[in-house]
Structure 1
Amino acid sequence: MKENLHIIAKSNFSFCIQKGISIDIQWIPRKENEKVDYISKMFDFEDWGVTHIFFNFLNDMWGPYSIDRFASVENRKVLRFNSLFWQPDSEAVDAFSQVWTNENNWLVPPINLVIRSIKHIIACKARGTLIVPKWTSAAFWPLIFDKHLIYKDYVKDVIVFKNTDGIYEQGSNKNTTFGVEPFGSPVLAFC
């Protein structure tokens, strides 16, 4: 039914014939295969990240970072990371299920998790670097600045990146705002 899968199956079959490998194919009813079927339909709509050059710049300044809290095996910036779904080498699924204390956390969360990230780092009395776009109308803005545009007490240092070329990179989702050049607003890094 799907030409691309048919081509892959034919290629595998040809390889097996050439190498003298026999394959026994077995059909498994969907009812007995629900977990695998569910996992196969998972898609990370927030699959984007920052470039290694951008990460290395901040890692040299405020690092070394000990863990990447919102990553995948493909876009992690340090060996230790937390992911949205189970992934090889991920220390945890759901960064918020972890205690962030005693770590230097690298935080590039999806926009809908910025508020929760700020609240979690405060609750854990942890440290780290948070990367967000400079969107003054965003719901997270009051958690970073007070009404006089002075940084909150827990913000120790800030860098504003007006030129955003080379900061974000796309993952498998080509329809995301992040990773598409040019990115339309400045980017903030908070320590």
Structure 2
Amino acid sequence: MDFDNEIRLSLFSRQEITWWITKINDTNGKRIRPVNVSKRCRTDASFLGFGGIDLETDIHTNGRWNNEEVLNASINYLELLAIFYCLQALYEDCRDIHIEVQSDNTSAISYINKFGGMESIEMDKLAKQIWEWCLLRQIYISAVHVPGRLNTADFYSRNFSDSTEWMLKQDIFNRLCRHTFLPDVDVFASRLNKRLPKFVSWFPEPGAMAVNAFSLSWNQFVPYLFPPFNSIGKVINKVVSDKVDKALMVVPYWFTQSWFPVLLENMSDFPIRLPRHQDLLALPHNKKFHPLGKKLKMIGVVLSGRACRVEEFQKKLLTLSQSHGLEEQPSSTAVLGKSGVCGIVLGFPVHFIRLKR
């Protein structure tokens, strides 16, 4: 062996050495006896997704994998990734505590307790990410084995609701924002179907800025709203009650629904008719199109909970209306695509406008 030969270290090795040089004063040494366990959670992974539950509060988190995560990944890697996502979802705001993670996968447990391992480069890198995340929060984690038959997180890693996962086609969303304005938060989203960097999830999820949009005040946001169809009426009322300045909302054109007149009354701009593409709505994990396909007529509307904005738009309707040559429509709605009218507000027709390129 020639010790005078030049050896080139890999980028990963150089990053590791740099980390120790900068962090050794802060992190050198390990407690002989860790602090007592403050939190306990159970995690599980399947090839469908991940799940986890905090054993003290019974608060759970779960989600499907995206294509990159599950492609060529072993179940051992997914189990370790499930631990990371559950920590992020359940304990993002915790500091200076000891969390006990219970898993039925011995490989994931080993990579946690030994701060990495030698058998899998991918799992070693992931274990490093987990511990770096913990060090920033002064969190100590330990992992223990729980038999699979007792792992209550198993249910959450295999059962999901697709009703809240439909997402608007990215190109159409971009065009809609250019046509109106760019919202600052996606209020009804998950880490897979979010359309903006900031999002509010239904349940604890990694990366979510908050959980349960209905528990928040929306007047601090300029939100993008694409809720489940059975929650549309509740969402419109929330915009009004929170006096939201402006919100961009995507809804089906269902003029027979009880919420539709309320939608019309709180518009602050002309509604936009979205293209009837078959792939307009899809599920993020498998790209499955909405079962209604082209039959589903979707529109984008700008709503406001501020009376002055709504009144300003309604005055514009008065100015643009030429009622002397038209008969006032007896109903408050019109059929989409035949007259180009979305509905009637204060006796004046509200026309659709086309989505700009």
TM-score (norm. length: structure 2): 0.42
1:179 aligned onto 2:298: no
Shift of 1:27: 4.4
In the alignment, residue 158 of structure 1 is paired with which amino acid?
A: F
Cα distance between partner residues in 1 of 2:203 and 2:155 = 12
Shift of 1:38: 4.5
Higher helix share: 2
Larger RCO of the pair (alpha carbons < 8 Å, separation 6+): 1
Q: CA RMSD in A?
A: 3.3
Pair 1:9–1:70, CA change in 2 (3 A): closer
Checking the alignment, whether the CA contact within 8 Å between 1:130 and 1:190 is kept in structure 2 is: yes
Cα distance between partner residues in 1 of 2:77 and 2:182 = 45
> Residue 85 of structure 1 aligns to a residue in which SS?
coil
- Partner of residue 160, structure 2: 43
Shift of 1:124: 0.6
Shift of 1:142: 2.8
Cα distance between partner residues in 2 of 1:102 and 1:134 = 28
- Partner of residue 148, structure 1: none
Pair 1:39–1:58, CA change in 2 (3 A): same
In the alignment, residue 155 of structure 1 is paired with which amino acid?
A: M
Pair 1:180–1:171, CA change in 2 (3 A): farther
Shift of 1:162: 5.8
- Partner of residue 252, structure 2: 133
In the alignment, residue 167 of structure 2 is paired with which amino acid?
A: G
In the alignment, residue 143 of structure 1 is paired with which amino acid?
A: V
- Partner of residue 56, structure 1: 174
Give deviations 1:130-189, integer Å, cap 9, x for gaps: 111111222322322xxxxxx30x2111334263215322234778xx635733132111
Pair 1:169–1:27, CA change in 2 (3 A): same
Q: Which runs of 5+ in 2 are unaligned?
A: 1-46, 49-73, 79-106, 108-117, 121-143, 303-357
TM-score (norm. length: structure 1): 0.73
Cα distance between partner residues in 2 of 1:185 and 1:143 = 21
1:188 aligned onto 2:299: yes
Shift of 1:29: 6.0
Shift of 1:44: 2.3
> Residue 70 of structure 1 aligns to a residue in which SS?
strand
Cα distance between partner residues in 2 of 1:82 and 1:42 = 21
Pair 1:121–1:11, CA change in 2 (3 A): closer
Matched-pair identity in %: 23
Give deviations 1:19-63, integer Å, cap 9, x for gaps: 647xxx9442645x33x2353244122211101111111211222
The 5 Å alignment of 1:30-179 reads: 30-31=149-150, 33-34=151-152, 36-46=153-163, 47-126=165-244, 127-144=246-263, 151-152=264-265, 154-161=266-273, 163-165=275-277, 166-172=279-285, 179=290
Cα distance between partner residues in 2 of 1:65 and 1:106 = 6
How many residues were matched structurally? 170
Checking the alignment, whether the CA contact within 8 Å between 2:167 and 2:282 is kept in structure 1 is: yes
Structure 1 runs of 4+ aligned residues shifted over 4 Å read 8-13
Checking the alignment, whether the CA contact within 8 Å between 1:106 and 1:129 is kept in structure 2 is: yes
Cα distance between partner residues in 1 of 2:203 and 2:76 = 31
